[in-house]
A and B are shown apart, each in its own frame.
Chain A
Amino acid sequence: MSIKLLTIDLAEPLADLTGCDAYDALLALVRVKGRSLGWARVNHQRQAHVAASWLRAEIANQVHWELLPHALLPAFIPEPTPTPPITVIVLSKADPVALADCLHALLACAYPEFELLVVDYGAQPMSIKRVVDQFPAVRYLRATAPGAGAARNQGAAIARYDLVAFLAAACCPDPHWLSALAAGFSVADVAAVTGPVAPRELATPAQRLFEDGCGGLGRDPYSRTVRPATASFSERIGGVGMGSGANLALRGDVLRALGGFNPTLDAGADHELLVRLLAHGMSLRYNGDALVWHAHPRDHRALERALFDRGRSQGAALIATAQTGVFARTALLRYAVSIWLWGILGRIRRPAGLPQRLALLELLGALSSLTADRRSLTSPPGDATL
């Protein structure tokens, strides 16, 4: 079972697809003039040759509501927004191949001015450094403290520009990524911009399980602004559905005002920061066009680890949030029990798409965050889930 991923721009001519008989279905990100409209899933009956006209009709049937204003109301397309210089901080831990891909994709981004900085916080510095050395325009920083939170802070400290974008090395940004991030900041009162994290490939069962069975990393293409006044309970406390640190941009002054990421956290530092940001009365923009493509774990073992880590990192973030003291204990407890754990338990009780064992692993991860000494930061190597 595998799914072919495509990006289709309705404003551009579409060629026939060939060699599709190896795939069970096609999953297309549909755009018009660079703006994401939605995802369309097409069953092509394992035909090798897929005609462009047929494909076009199929996907058009799935995303028309979003297309209407783009195509029929010329005034809907907003004016171009300013493009301030950006520092892109790539967090890399262990995977030099993924990092090389990521840097190539970054250099292909169409954006007037940006600098690249790789922060290496893994255990094998040499291999990462070797990759970075191949790119003369890319700076390298070896993190001195363990954990992604601290690594992000160190990177931000030496950033040249005021706008800082964080990217996980396992992600390849879309060519429009930087301009879409910058456009997000043109929305008044926005302090941080996030975006969707889509799968780069869905070739193995593990990858499909990760994407479909447990929600993946969030590839919802619909833009929105999360404001403290109107945010939902789970957004305010759990930072749910607002994007993640794998694809996040902040103003430097905002980061400093918040006191940076929590340095004691590894994965989970991002969610904790987003929650803190909202709690401080700042708004966040989830821009559906600021898309990155994430390499999901290919084998089952990595998937298990990723799920365990997800439970663990969310638990750790929640505990860290509790320690900041901005929320009442009862609210945190209510969130933890009735939304987060209840959701995991629901997946265990009624496994829909995700095997019970994997959901159990997530629960184990969640419970382990209670007992683990968070300072030890003993999460296994790998960039899969940031």
Chain B
Amino acid sequence: MPTVVCDIDLLTLPPELRDLTAYDGALVLIRLGGRPVGQAWLPVTDGRIDGTTLREELFRAAGWPPWQAWTEAYLAPIHPPEPPLPSATIVVCTRNRAADLVDCLTSLQQLPNDGQELIIVDNAPSDDSTYRVVQQFPAVRYVREDRLGLAAARNRALHEAQGEVVAFTDDDATVEPGWLRALLRNFSDPLVLGVSGLTMPVELETPAQEWFERFTPFGRGFQRRVFDMTNHDPLQPNPVGSGASLAFRRSVLHLIGPFDEAFGPGTPSKSGADTELITRILQAGYRLVYDPAALNWHRHRRDWDGLVNRMRDYGTGRGSRWTRGLLLQHEVGVLGVAAAWLLRYSLPRYARALRQGRTSPLATLIGVDMMGWWRGPGAYLAARQAERAKGKGKG
């Protein structure tokens, strides 16, 4: 049975949730005055969640963050003014998904107009459907990038963008009206080169979607966190955020360099373009911020095979990143990270999952993730070669 995704504000708690007969569980995004402060998984009984359970569970799940938000809201009248926000360019990289793109663009039109620029990068399209969709929206720039790969598309966007900050979102995601401003607010610290936001699932209708959300959620909690090399190991970029809601200062191009085009969807390494750049930013002594106030909604893959492939891609990307760290950057720490990941995280979980059967969903997901690692080194070398060949072809 599927899980319903609800969005509840503690200031306007409903008496109860009704008409959920099609669902047996609920994932509730908890807000206070619009600010996301927590989430809770609740059971649905007889098509409803009664008011008592709702209240008890929401407050238990949310803990302190709603109260910090309450205090800040209360003190807002005497809070000193905030510095002005930097200019921004929003970039959506897409490939042959015109239908999803309509929702995404519609939500982007709802953002308050702070003079932001909007670019759609069409990555090696097989037809002109994306172009036709973009034509329907005013003030959207259409850029076509024929080199296949998300990293290539994003690099193109970084070069094309005019704004001081470039905010990336996915074509299968929709953004909240406050999304961009919440991201931009964090750039007042000059050391901050990147900010990631909270991504919630827009629906959990199929088992694949629910497993994805439980196994590798895009969200990273409800507390704002600042990452730099003094408080976080650069070789562990995952807690920093996910690629579905990620903004970089454009100067990252000359301070750190572009996305490594050996990574990401469309390359042999399959994934890891964002995390690889995050690692380099941290290694260079700059900062990244995770701010849950910047909220967008993502539609996870509905089919199980898609999910399994995605997990394999994640694993491959991770293995590739480790290979790159060890071979190219001589990061000895990679060995420790990989060993810890395997021994402390994956293997124990895999062992537990195996108790439910070799083909149980959890065992499958962890299994393909680990299989992905083994492909990582080969995939990375292949990707490097492909990239070099491309470079030669051009030269």
Contact = CB atoms under 8 A, between A and B. Distances in A.
Interface residues of B, number: 19
A188 B46 contact: yes
B253 interface: no
Contacts, number: 43
B11 interface: yes
B53 A79 contact: no
B59 interface: yes
Interface string B323-346: 000000000000000000000000
Contacts of A224: 56
Contact of B48 (A76, A188, A223): A188
B49 interface: yes
Interface stretch (A67-75, A99-107, A247-255): A67-75
Interface string B351-366: 0000000000000000
Interface string B6-22: 00001111010000000
Interface in B1-53: 10-13, 15, 43, 45-46, 48-53
Interface of B is mostly: helix
B55 interface: yes
Contact of B53 (A68, A75, A187): A187
A326 interface: no
Contact of B50 (A69, A72, A188): A188
Interface residues of A, number: 18
Interface string A222-234: 0111010100000
Interface string A212-228: 00000000000111010
A186 B50 contact: yes
A78 B70 contact: no
Nearest to A223: B56
B52 A186 contact: yes
Q: Pick the most buried of A78, A79, A188, A227: most chain B CB atoms within 10 A of its CB.
A: A188
A223 B13 CA distance: 19
24 contacts: A73-B10, A73-B11, A73-B13, A75-B11, A75-B12, A75-B13, A76-B10, A76-B13, A76-B59, A78-B15, A78-B51, A78-B52, A78-B55, A79-B51, A186-B51, A187-B50, A187-B52, A188-B46, A188-B48, A188-B50, A223-B56, A224-B56, A225-B56, A227-B43
Interface of A: 68-69, 72-73, 75-76, 78-79, 183, 186-189, 223-225, 227, 229
Interface of B: 10-13, 15, 43, 45-46, 48-53, 55-56, 59, 67, 70
